[in-house]
Every structure is written in C-alpha cells, then in structure tokens.
C-alpha cells in the first residue's frame, strides 16, 4: 500500500490562501488539491460548490497521485479534507482518512512537489446523495441535519446566506462541534454549500452512522422561492 498525503487547505474569502499555505509549508510529499477548482464544480443554480464532474475529479485525483493501491490521508481547513474524503468514497475509493494537521509533529516542507501521476478509476456510488426535489418531497421522513453555525441555522441575517433560514425541520449540528444525539432514521446533512457538511458526515461515519449529502445545500435551496424556508423567532 502506498500512502499519499493531500493538502486541502482553503479559505472562503481568499481563493489563493490554500495554495499559499501549501507552498509555505506542507507535509513532505503531499499533493495539493484546490477545494474550489478540484473538489467542486462552478457555482450556479446547483449552489456555490456543486459536486465536480466525474471526469474532472478523476483528472484531479490522478494529478494528485491517487489510484488503486493508494491510501489517501487528507488534511485541510474548513472541511476541505473531509470533502476530499467524501468525494473519494463517493467515487469508490474507500482507502482514505482525515488527519488533523495540528496533530502532525513531523517536519514541513516548502515549495512544490513532484507528484507521480496515477490512474484514478471512478466507480460512483448512487446512494450517498440527495437532490432538492427528493429532499423537499420527503422532509417528513428524513432526519435532516444542518451543519452551519447556530445563528445561520436560526435564520439570523448574515453575509453568506442571501436568504436567511433553514430547511424546515432541520436539526442543528454545527460542523465545528461534536454531533449531538440524533434521532434514528435516514439521515441527510447539508450546510451552506456542501463542504462543511462533509465534516459532520465524517464524524458520524467514525461513530458508526452513515448519512447522505445534499450537495447543493442552502446555497442551492435559497435560489428556489417555491421551496419552504423555516426561521426561529
């Protein structure tokens, strides 16, 4: 088994911050994948960070040296590592884990790395996502979890959400905190744009519970006035 570290640091406010951090110092031998360009598709009617097209993700993973027989250790910020973890499993590559970079006590290396190309063969799953139409239709049947901070879940005005509020019935499980006790049932997680919800799904996976991702998340839902919105008093 070959091990491949992948740096997925990023910033919502500064598109170049992740690569700058990587060049300043990364785990030796690590590849870099950009959350906005490699781990998401272009923003649009499906949200700010829709899933990348299969061929685009396969090309990015190949450039990062990911293929059969490679165990991926992702680290990052703001859910970047967990987004790569989720995408790898979505495309059939279960040999992956997440590392908290603060727990890394080894050396860091500055500059670029020469990464040997690999052949990533996507084998997409069909049971780990949900679209807005099915979610709207099945709200009464699902355990829906909102991974945004509590103020945004409540519907307080903020600089990120164009329409403040939440999907009706959604339970709050802020991504920076351990997930709360959740009811039994089919679970769906969302956040602002589908990145930090992957943190919640990773935490639940480690606890033995699987859930589905709503990739478009609130940044898709808020674009459709016919979809219901709930706010707290």
* 172: CATH: 3.40.250.10
Mean pLDDT over 105-111 rounds to: 97
- Domain interval for residue 197: 132-221
Is 178 part of a structural domain of the chain? Answer: yes
pLDDT at position 161: 97
pLDDT at position 31: 98
Question: 189: Cβ–Cβ under 8 A, 6 or more apart, which residues?
Answer: 144, 145, 147, 173, 197, 198, 200, 201, 204, 211, 212, 213, 214
Is 126 part of a structural domain of the chain? Answer: no
For the chain, how many structural domains are there in total?
Answer: 2
Question: From CA 66, how far away is CA 211, in angstroms rounded?
Answer: 25
* 96 is a catalytic site residue: no
Is 140 part of a structural domain of the chain? Answer: yes
Tell me: do 198 and 142 sit in the same domain.
Answer: yes
Taking only the tens place, the pLDDT of each residue in 202-223 is 999 999 999 999 999 999 999 9
Catalytic residue of the set 8, 96, 191, 198: 191
Tell me: do 180 and 91 sit in the same domain.
Answer: no
Q: Is the pTM value of this prediction over 0.95? A: yes
């Amino acid at each position: 088994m070959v091990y491949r570290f992948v740096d997925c640091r990023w910033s919502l406010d500064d598109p170049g911050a992740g690569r700058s951090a990587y060049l300043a110092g990364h785990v030796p031998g690590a590849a870099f994948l950009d959350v906005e360009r490699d781990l998401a598709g272009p923003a649009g009617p499906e949200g700010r960070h829709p899933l990348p097209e299969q061929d685009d993700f396969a090309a990015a993973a190949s450039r990062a040296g990911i293929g059969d027989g490679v165990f991926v250790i992702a680290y990052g910020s703001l859910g970047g590592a967990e987004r790569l973890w989720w995408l790898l499993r979505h495309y059939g590559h279960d040999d992956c884990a997440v590392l908290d970079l603060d727990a890394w006590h080894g050396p860091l290396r500055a500059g670029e790395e020469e990464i040997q190309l690999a052949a990533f063969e996507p084998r997409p799953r069909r049971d780990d996502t949900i679209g807005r139409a099915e979610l709207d239709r099945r709200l009464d049947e699902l355990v829906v979890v909102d991974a945004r901070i509590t103020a945004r879940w409540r519907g307080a005005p903020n600089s990120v959400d164009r329409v403040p509020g939440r999907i009706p019935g959604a339970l709050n499980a802020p991504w920076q905190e351990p997930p709360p006790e959740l009811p039994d049932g089919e679970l769906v997680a969302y956040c602002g744009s589908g990145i930090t919800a992957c943190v919640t799904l990773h935490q639940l996976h480690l606890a033995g519970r699987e859930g589905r991702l709503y990739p478009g998340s609130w940044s898709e839902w808020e674009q459709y006035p016919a979809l219901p919105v709930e706010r707290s008093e």
